[in-house]
Structure 1
Amino acid sequence: MQLFPTWILLMDIMNVTLVPYGNAQEKFDGKQWQFTCQHGEEECLGNMIECLKLYEPTVQWESIVTCVKGDQGNKLMHANAQLTDTLKPAHQYVPWVTLNREHTDAMQDKAMSSLFNLVCSTYKGEKPVACTGETKTKPTTYCMN
């Protein structure tokens, strides 16, 4: 619930990389990667769809089905596996929040309680207007087309 409103207010100083993979495992079967997700096949399918939409936001649903079953979807999911597997320290749960490629329990707690305040307080450059006043009440719903 915090990510989108925080990003809207701080997009000039905030880079977001979403990595749909979670606590999955991968194994190469000689032809392609096979994925096993913590919560079953539906989670793996959802992760794959998210990968494809992040890679190509305008892709149509018909193309997603083809891509999920093809090489492109497999390569994108494998890339997310590699990103996840190279985290230092290794992730222990999801979401696993990193800031400037670093993770600490204290930072994770701050991100979960107020991502907006965490980004504002750790940003080293000139603070955007959104960071200079009191914490703004952020709307909890948005209408997107």
Structure 2
Amino acid sequence: MSHKIAAVCLLMSCLFAAVYGAAKVPIAVYYESLCPDSAKFITEQLYPAVRGELRDVVDLTLVPFGKSQFFTQGAEVTFTCHHGPNECYGNKVHACAIEHIQANSYQVEYTRESLTIDFINCLMKAGKNFPDNVYPGQRCAQENHINNWENIKTCANSTEGSVLLRKAGEATQRLKEPLTSVPTILFNEQFEKKVNERAQENFVGTLCKYVSAPQPHICTAHNGAAAPSITSVSAILGSLLGLWSIIRLFH
């Protein structure tokens, strides 16, 4: 009898996970490391959302390339960037950080995703104003629990950084609609100009329209965000009642 009860409990846990664990929304942000509009969006819109109540409903991809270009001559790859050579270096640092940052078992409060967005948010906040012309990579690493800044720096100053930045460029070139503005934001791997514009003004409100019910509180409380439908609630209640009937059979 005990194994039957255990099976029912497992079934219930799966149901609750399906009901309350909203599917993650794939979001890709194509940006540039020294772009003021990119910095404004990431620091004021994206970062507060993905480090707040919406952190569990976003599957985030960051692509640090934007309007840059790359040219291949034999084994060499050269880049020209929208905001000059410093941005090319910054883009490489971002690409290397995205590749190399890892969570540590003794830092259970941090995930790979949270460490990466914390680090990149810090870099974007710095903008173009570097005291003494020192790139803020080491400072941002120290402030955000990144323990492998030396690896990231080595990557950015080596062939690996060029390879990773080229991959970001290739991903940007594969967009169905050629990138014309930075940042560019895709939801569910689809680009829509009006959605991109709305997201830069109101990322939370735009994202919430893609989050399935039942939605996080910030969505249900947000203007224009849809609350869970009556149909969804009825289906949940029906499933729970069905489970309750099964459990009663074992008593």
Tell me whether the two structures share a fold, i.e. TM-score over 0.5.
yes
* Deviation of 1:94 (Å): 0.4
Which residue number corresponds to residue 4 of structure 1? Answer: 47
CA pair 90-9 structure 1, distance change in 2 beyond 3 A: same
Which residue number corresponds to residue 94 of structure 2? Answer: 50
Say if 2:70 and 2:78, in contact at 8 Å, map to a contact too. yes
Distance in 2 (CA, whole Å) between partners of 1:93 and 1:134 is 27
Query: What is the aligned-residue RMSD (CA, Å)?
Result: 1.6
Of 62-71 and 4-13, more deviation after overlay is shown by 62-71
Which residue number corresponds to residue 139 of structure 1? Answer: none
* Deviation of 1:127 (Å): 1.4
Aligned pairs for 1:60-71 within 5 A: 60-71=148-159
Q: Deviations over 1:31-58 (max 9, x none)?
A: 1321111111101000001111111124
Which residue number corresponds to residue 119 of structure 1? Answer: 207
Which residue number corresponds to residue 86 of structure 1? Answer: 174
CA pair 33-59 structure 1, distance change in 2 beyond 3 A: farther
* Deviation of 1:59 (Å): 5.7
TM-score by length of 2: 0.50
Distance in 2 (CA, whole Å) between partners of 1:82 and 1:134 is 36
Asked whether 1:29 is paired with 2:117, we answer no
Say if 2:68 and 2:79, in contact at 8 Å, map to a contact too. yes
Asked whether 1:103 is paired with 2:103, we answer no
> How many equivalent residue pairs?
135
Which residue number corresponds to residue 84 of structure 2? Answer: 40
Which structure features the higher share of strand residues?
2
Distance in 2 (CA, whole Å) between partners of 1:65 and 1:10 is 31
Which structure features the higher share of helix residues?
2
Q: Deviations over 1:72-122 (max 9, x none)?
A: 212211110111000111110100111111112210121011100011112
Structure 2 alignment gaps of length 5 or more:
1-43, 102-145, 224-251
Distance in 1 (CA, whole Å) between partners of 2:181 and 2:221 is 33
Sequence identity, in percent? 29
* Deviation of 1:24 (Å): 0.6
* Matched residue SS, 2:71: strand
Structure 1 alignment gaps of length 5 or more:
136-145
* Matched residue SS, 1:18: strand
CA pair 125-75 structure 1, distance change in 2 beyond 3 A: farther
* Deviation of 1:125 (Å): 4.3
Larger radius of gyration between Structure 1 and Structure 2: 2
